[in-house]
Amino acid sequence: MHMDERRAIEWDCTRLIHQYVNLNDAQDWHAVAALYTPDARFARPSKPDEFIEGREAILASFTARPPRAQRHVIANTVVDVEGPATARAFSVIVLYMGDVPEGGGLPVQDAKSPLIGTFTDLIVNTPDGWRFKQRVGGLDFRP
């Protein structure tokens, strides 16, 4: 594989990871779910051994959660290209969360915040572009 092609895949996959956290923070769950393949597997950082199977189930798991104020920060992303249609990625994730006051204004940060963890991804090239085939979270510290 030519170096330019490898770098383009690395960039596309990194952009997918960044797009995911931005859409997640916007709580645009349909757009978040669309970043997964139809048969994807997802495990939240808080439950790394519990897989949610399939895009529709992933969407349902997000829409079932009560709304919260949140901001994800993703860092240290490294993408390893396996081939023209497959890559693996590792990222560190920091999650700030809290409750929005009834009168509006800035959210009050949750005492368990921030959470520090990781995502390990299998990303594949589809007719719709690069998508998560498997996304496994994990926590580095107990809240």
**Residue 103 burial by Cβ neighbours in a 10 Å radius (0-12, 13-18, 19+):** exposed
Q: Where do the domains of the chain lie?
A: 3-139
Amino acid at 57: A
Q: How confident is the model at residue 44 (pLDDT cuts 50, 70, 90)?
A: very high
Token code pair at residue 27 = 């709580």
For Cα atoms 78, 81, 85, give the angle at the middle one, nearest 5 degrees.
130
Condensed to tens digits (0 to 9), the pLDDT of residues 66-106 reads: 888 999 999 999 999 999 999 999 999 999 999 888 888 88
The overall average pLDDT reported for the chain is 95
Whether this prediction's pTM lies above 0.85 is answered by yes
Tokens 């690395």 locate to 10
Q: Provide φ and ψ at 11, rounded to 5°.
A: -65, -45
CATH architecture assigned to 3-139: Roll (3.10)
